[in-house]
Structure 1
Amino acid sequence: MKKLQKIGFGGGCHWCTEAIFLSLIGIEKVKQGYIASVGKNDSFSEAVIIHFNPKYISLKTLIEVHLLTHKSTTKHSMRHKYRSAIYTFYKNQNTLTNSIISGLQKDFQNQIITEIFTFNEFKASRQQITITKTQKNLFARIL
């Protein structure tokens, strides 16, 4: 029996982000759409929810991939739509995520601006693109 965990990532186009994570071993499912947190961060921004098996891929690896595949050190005018964020689902995930980012900071020339938020709500994209994972390739199809 697989014990899957979840984590949310925001930072760029959710379709592109979905494709990156589906290419990794240990990722079971990626849902793309919009995520909101709580309080002043309750507005929705593009993001994905990753369902992963920690037996095959660590949270640290996922966070590192996330930070390296979007502008995690750059503020820009579209941050309201493309919030650089990690959305946590479990109490211990927030503390662990903060520790992982602090440890990875030494590998970045500029300050990481990615924020950690508690997951609150998800809305799927109106137009879904299905990305199929095969042995050699990823294929995208608009539904």
Structure 2
Amino acid sequence: MEEEITLGGGCFWCTEAVYLRIPGVLSVKSGYAGGSVKSPTYKQICTGTTGHAEVIQVKFDTNKVSLQEILSIFWKAHDPTTLNRQGNDVGTQYRSVIFYKDEVQKKIAEDSRKDAAVSFTSPIVTEISPLPEFYIAEDYHQDYFRLNPGNPYCNYVIPPKLDKLGLKL
């Protein structure tokens, strides 16, 4: 069975690179959600004034990986205790967020957050909200890390995430 969840954990290039390496993940789309502007562009998102977060939509095969496992990776792949910030990326567009599709996903996300909280010394600030409209990001943002191997930002930020999670480059 296929399921989909929308996650924001900072830069979508970074979270996308993580989830594309998870067995059972069928696809990952980078995009924007949670703001007030219809069909926003990356340039608009970067201003931090649209209210959107950089997010990924993860489609996965529940026979191979559960939503609980997807969320367990989410908590480890970024710092859910920093408000509107991941490393040097600062602004509401980099907030930690889980956008759920239904009450079952909401309950699993809330339980997952409680379970993850014991691993952090600071409180988790991750927003858990119903999925608003998702806008797919421009083509050049899709599969960004693989298609842009020389990007210094990616080379500085993504390999340590993958190492931390025990994933191959």
**Secondary structure at the counterpart of residue 31 of structure 2:** strand
**Which of 16, 19, 30 in structure 1 is aligned with 2:17?**
19
- RMSD across aligned positions (CA): 2.2
Higher helix content, 1 or 2: 2
- Match of residue 135 from structure 1: none
TM-score, structure 2 as length reference? 0.69
Gapped regions of structure 2 (runs ≥ 5): 37-49, 149-169
The one-character-per-residue Cα deviations of 1:44-65 (angstroms, maximum 9, x if unpaired) are 1100000011111121211121
Between the aligned partners of 1:76 and 1:34, the Cα distance in structure 2 is 15
CA drift of 1:126 comes to: 2.0
Q: Which amino acid counterpart does residue 109 of structure 1 have in structure 2?
A: T
Higher strand content, 1 or 2: 1
Structure 1 residues 79 and 129, CA gap change in structure 2 (3 angstroms): closer
Aligned length: 131
Q: Percent identity?
A: 27
Between the aligned partners of 1:76 and 1:115, the Cα distance in structure 2 is 11
Contact 2:29–2:56 (Cα < 8 Å) also in 1: yes
Structure 1 position 50 matched with structure 2 position 53:
no
- Match of residue 7 from structure 1: 5
Between the aligned partners of 1:8 and 1:37, the Cα distance in structure 2 is 14
TM-score, structure 1 as length reference? 0.81
Contact 2:31–2:134 (Cα < 8 Å) also in 1: yes
Gapped regions of structure 1 (runs ≥ 5): 133-138
**Which of 86, 95, 101 in structure 2 is aligned with 1:83?**
95
Between the aligned partners of 1:90 and 1:106, the Cα distance in structure 2 is 26
Structure 1 position 100 matched with structure 2 position 100:
no
5 Å matches for 1:64-143?
A: 64-76=72-84, 78-131=90-143, 140-141=146-147
